[in-house]
Amino acid sequence: MMTATTASDLCFFASPDGDLAYRDTGAGDLVVLVHPGYVDHRVFDDQIPALVAAGYRVIAPDVRGHGFSANASKPFRWADDLGGLLRHLDAGPAVLAGVCMGAAVATDTVLEYPELARAVVVSGGGTSAFEYSDAWTRERVAESARMLGEGDAAGWIEAFAKNVAGPHRAVADCDPDAVRRMREMAAHTIAKHTVGETNWHVPLDDPWSRMPKIDVPVLAVHGALDAADALEMAERLVRSVPNGRSVTIEDTGHFPNLEKPEAFNEILLDFLRAL
């Protein structure tokens, strides 16, 4: 169940380009949870209580331009935003865990600020150099771009919901609560933006070539029903690092933390306890 988060429930970091929202709860070793694109920290509503109960501190930021965080008005990098937040809090090293876009934020950060990470967990992605080879994924990307270009927010939200199902199911086959949560978060984020606005995000240059430099443990958590290219990006990451491995959760797609939270939490906690 998604919590009815408001700005008053969150902490805010005064970055050089506006306030960045984050949730900070619990005590113990630090785990940072970074959400997929177009949603926000609430995608981890099933992970945060489990981690806190197990004795961890959790920081779950809203990436710039998402959720309750400020939009960009000048060039920025994901790694600098997350690194700046953790340094502001004098927090870390942390386990950086991210889903889809969040995986890219996590790997960008460990590359640029290795002292802030003691392990990395990814799901549905690898680095910020996204590699879309699957026909289904390419169709989703093109459909989303078309809807955004036309300013069709409602159509875009329905197109976005297909990411919950993935290429092997229909949206109607998925947990309706999971789909509802994703639609609500996506609607909140998309309402922050306007048609034709500048994309100020600055990606890292060729992060794949730098992956072997990640010398902390890396875990990839796959949803078995995810698109082939999402699975391959995560697998490429764990193959590229000195200490990487992967595990698969059956009967779930691109967001296993959302659809199979108990299984995802068990895998994550087992990994954390072994560090």
pLDDT in tens, 167-212: 999 999 999 999 999 999 999 999 999 988 999 999 999 999 999 9
> What pLDDT score does 5 carry?
52
Give the least confident one: 75-89, 116-130, 150-164. Answer: 150-164
Instruction: Evaluate whether 125 touches 99 at the Cβ level (below 8 Å).
Output: yes
Instruction: Evaluate whether 214 touches 111 at the Cβ level (below 8 Å).
Output: yes
* Between 80 and 153, the higher pLDDT residue: 80
Instruction: Provide mean pLDDT across the span 12-22.
Output: 96
Instruction: Evaluate whether 34 touches 105 at the Cβ level (below 8 Å).
Output: yes
Q: What is the sign of the dihedral through the CA atoms of 253, 6, 149 and 132?
A: negative
pLDDT tens for residues 98-142?
A: 999 999 999 999 999 999 999 999 999 999 999 999 899 999 889
pLDDT tens for residues 32-58?
A: 999 999 999 999 999 999 999 999 999
pLDDT band at 1 (very low <50, low <70, confident <90, very high): very low
pLDDT band at 92 (very low <50, low <70, confident <90, very high): confident
Instruction: Evaluate whether 233 touches 130 at the Cβ level (below 8 Å).
Output: yes
The tokens describing 260, both together, are 């199979």
Radius of gyration over every alpha carbon of the chain, rounded to an integer in angstroms: 17
The tokens describing 112, both together, are 């640029």
Could you give all domains of the chain from N- to C-terminal order, each with its CATH number?
A: 7-132+197-273 (3.40.50.1820)
Instruction: Provide mean pLDDT across the span 251-255.
Output: 96
